[in-house]
Chains A and B, each alone.
Chain A
Amino acid sequence: MHPVDDIGIAIADVYAKAVYKLASDAGTTAPTLEELSGLIAYVNSTPEFESFLVSVTVDSDRRRATIEKAMRGKASDLLVNLVQTLNAKSRLCLLEQVYVQYRLANEVAQNQAEITVATAVPLSADQRGPLLEALRKYTGQEPILTERVDDSLIGGLVVYIDDQKIDFSVSRALGGYRESFLRRASQEIHGKKQYVQ
């Protein structure tokens, strides 16, 4: 689906919070999240279905009938009703963003934090355990870890928590050396220091 601007995010957030409240009242926050995640994965893997949902050339009544036929009974009523409401309000293009906002609302409610860890080589189980423990302690939240391998780091790791980046990588340390050499060289060249005989 297309990227969403700030206004789109704000609108999607309203829908997501409403759905989350209903799911929470019914005690189905986790299954709804799973259903939503499955639906988004299907939409993203099936361009025809995505076009069907967002195309302005498809009549909204026909789309409503098709959604009803295809989804009712196969997914929870809450999810089908959400899709139908979005269709009625011509907001189906925000479906993926509604899922993102729902997921974030769920994380806040569950005291979870999405954390990305980049390493030069894949983390072993022995490393992952203490890392999760350390992150739990640091954030005070339950980490939902996403691992990424980036060999340009050379060694060490980089942790991303929200907007925060904590860099323990070897490449950063080497960059620091480079900068300090350049600074010194610039000062010494300016001071006319000779390294040649």
Chain B
Amino acid sequence: MKFRVDEISSVIQEEIQQYQSGVDVAEVGRVIAVGDGIARVYGLSNCAAAELVEFSNGELGQVLNLEENSVGVAILGDYLGIREGDEVKRTGRQISVPVGEAMIGRVVDPMGRPLDGQGVIETPHLRPLEIIAPGIAGRQPVTEPLQTGIKAVDSMIPIGRGQRELIIGDRKTGKTAIALDTIINQKGGDVICVYVAIGQKESTVATVVETLRAHGAMDYTIVVTASSSTPAPLQYIAPYAGCAMAEYFMYEHGLPTLCVYDDLSKQAAAYRQMSLLLRRPPGREAYPGDVFYLHSRLLERSCKLAERRFIVKKGAPESTNEGVDGKSYLGVPGVHESEAAAKKIGADAHEVRVDQASGGSLTALPIIETLEGEVSAYIPTNVISITDGQIYLEPNLFFAGVRPAVNVGISVSRVGGNAQRKAMKKIAGSLRLDLAAFRELEAFAQLGTDLDTATQKQLDRGYRMVELLKQPQFQPYNINDQILSIFAGTQGLLDSIPRDKVLDFEKAMLKHMNNEHPEIVEELDKTGKLSDELAEKIKTLITNFKQTYSAKG
């Protein structure tokens, strides 16, 4: 091996010749106290709230408190190298993170620095960490489904693109598993996923990354991690960083995105630590007064963006993104306005086109960990009130083998119903209420009283539905398979199948339907609806299959 000294030398020479050594004028302050990730800095009298500052050892900080003679700075990195008297320089900018296609498949810290040992991330794009969420005019209603691949969720608690659905439950109840299943289920689709790990063990994050990689999900996923060993300020900014990375695809490319914040209770704890060290007054559970805004401003950034329409001449190139009348028409009202305008200009020669970079969405799956099922604690109630529904996971169900351990009684999706496939909506409409009624009946039946036939039948149906909704981890179901399974259950076609054989039967039935009757799946895909004729046909096919299945024993 021989170094090309001449070339290295010429590079250095070139750099020296090109280097512009002007005068560096900066506004500086001095550290007067530092500890636990927070520095108090004297000076910096003109700096703005949330401005980025640079310490003399190269670490960055965010200005959080502006006081009369000093500022409180959250140190975004290793604070042990910062000493009293060190110089702190204003940068004049807010925190921005690198975003773009180059981030996909990478594991980064909240500042966008790579942590996966796969080299530097070269991206020309940056986005500010904090932006004001789009207003009413910039949004449109949530109408498209975001399939999680989990039968219990897609049937009873459907999630729409642009929705914020909270996953809440005690430790070890399968919260992360639901989020990961949802990410894995996006394989082959156009959804870009961001998984933000906050305050978790490095080993857990490594397992998550490996799981995603093993299922091919890293091809469309970015992992942002601020583990429990990371200073509190980085844990505090991690969800905003992940959100900014997802927003790039939503705003610039009009793509649907999914952001998982795992979990926001740890982010709130990190923010509490910072606030107490900054001597902000503690409120309930020692959280600062603005802890609600901490989460509301983050989750409000999830949305389904309005589509932008414009009128072009028929046959105009695909790259055209300006209207002939110089106008653009936004959202649902824009549909009618653009059509009327096109008619006015001349419907024969013009057409309405949708801007491909508009109409993106950001679906948020925030996770909250409760203590001993206490959903009425401060942070859980805050996030429940901000989100558009919650998936509540219960330890009792989890340990009884019902996995995912979704408590359907108190889980809800407030906007997802509009986004649910018509076919699924038709068959699973009353499933949630039926299951909740079954739970009550089940408790009553345990008393050992004699039951009438109707009640016993209802119980048998309930037991089978519970079995049917069980699903192993990392095995997402296609929506059509889900429709066929749930249909079989709700129509009582599984009533004669022994409880321990339900999942086995379901597997065989789906295989049979997909292989022998692909026209059913095709029609479901094509229309999205379950007509009475189709329902009758499916019923007959499943009944026939049941006879073969029973005969096989």
Contacts and interface: CB of A to CB of B under 8 A. Distances in A.
A141 B422 CA distance: 77
Contacts of A180: 15, 19
A91 to B, nearest CB: 18
8 contacts: A6-B68, A6-B70, A163-B27, A163-B28, A166-B25, A167-B23, A176-B19, A190-B122
B12 to A, nearest CB: 7
B2 interface: yes
Given A163-B27, A165-B87, A197 B4 contact: yes
Interface stretch (B40-48, B221-229, B291-299): B40-48
Given A177-B16, A196-B4, A197-B2, A167 B26 contact: yes
A7 to B, nearest CB: 8
Given A10-B68, A167-B26, A181-B12, 7 more contacts: A162-B43, A163-B27, A164-B26, A165-B28, A176-B21, A184-B15, A190-B122
A190 B119 CA distance: 7
Interface in B1-42: 1-4, 7-8, 11-12, 15-16, 19, 21, 23-29, 32
B26 A196 contact: no
A117 to B, nearest CB: 14
Interface residues of A, number: 27
Nearest to A166: B25
Contacts of B15: 177, 180-181, 184
Interface in A141-185: 160, 162-168, 172-173, 176-177, 180-181, 184
A197 B4 CA distance: 7
A191 to B, nearest CB: 9
A166 B89 CA distance: 12
Q: Lowest 6 A-B CB distances belong to which pairs?
A: A167-B24, A165-B28, A173-B21, A163-B43, A6-B68, A197-B2
A162 B44 CA distance: 9
A191 B549 CA distance: 60
Interface of A: 3, 6, 9-10, 160, 162-168, 172-173, 176-177, 180-181, 184, 186-187, 189-190, 194-197
Contacts of A10: 68
A164 B2 CA distance: 48
Contacts of A172: 24
A195 B21 contact: no
Contacts of B27: 163-165
Contacts of A165: 24-28, 87, 89
Contacts of B8: 195
B25 A195 contact: no
A184 B13 CA distance: 13
